[in-house]
Amino acid sequence: KAPITTPLGGGYKSLNVTIRKSLGLFANVRPCVSYHPHVPSAHPNMDMVIVRENEEDLYAGIEHRQTDEVYQCLKLITQPGSERVIRYAFEYAKANGRKKVTCFSKNNIMKLTDGVFEETFQEVAKEYPDI
Judge whether 88 and 118 are in contact, CB under 8 Å.
no
Can you tell me the distance from the alpha carbon of 51 to that of 36, in angstroms, rounded to the nearest whole number? 23
Alpha helices in the chain (DSSP H): 15-23, 79-95, 113-125
Which among 124, 114, 125 is positioned nearest to 58, based on CA atoms?
114
Q: Dihedral, CA atoms, 110, 111, 112, 113, nearest 10 degrees?
A: 40
pTM over 0.75: yes
Give the model's pLDDT for residue 102.
Answer: 97
CB atoms within 10 A of CB 51: 19
Q: Tell me: the pLDDT tens digits for 65-121?
A: 999 999 999 899 999 999 999 999 999 999 999 999 999 999 999 999 999 999 999
Q: Tell me: the pLDDT tens digits for 17-44?
A: 778 788 888 999 999 999 999 999 999 9
Q: Give the list of residues 6+ apart from residue 119 with CB closer than 8 angstroms, or none.
A: none
Peptide bond into 37 cis (omega under 30): yes
Q: Give the list of residues 6+ apart from residue 62 with CB closer than 8 angstroms, or none.
A: 73, 74, 76
Give the model's pLDDT for residue 63.
Answer: 84
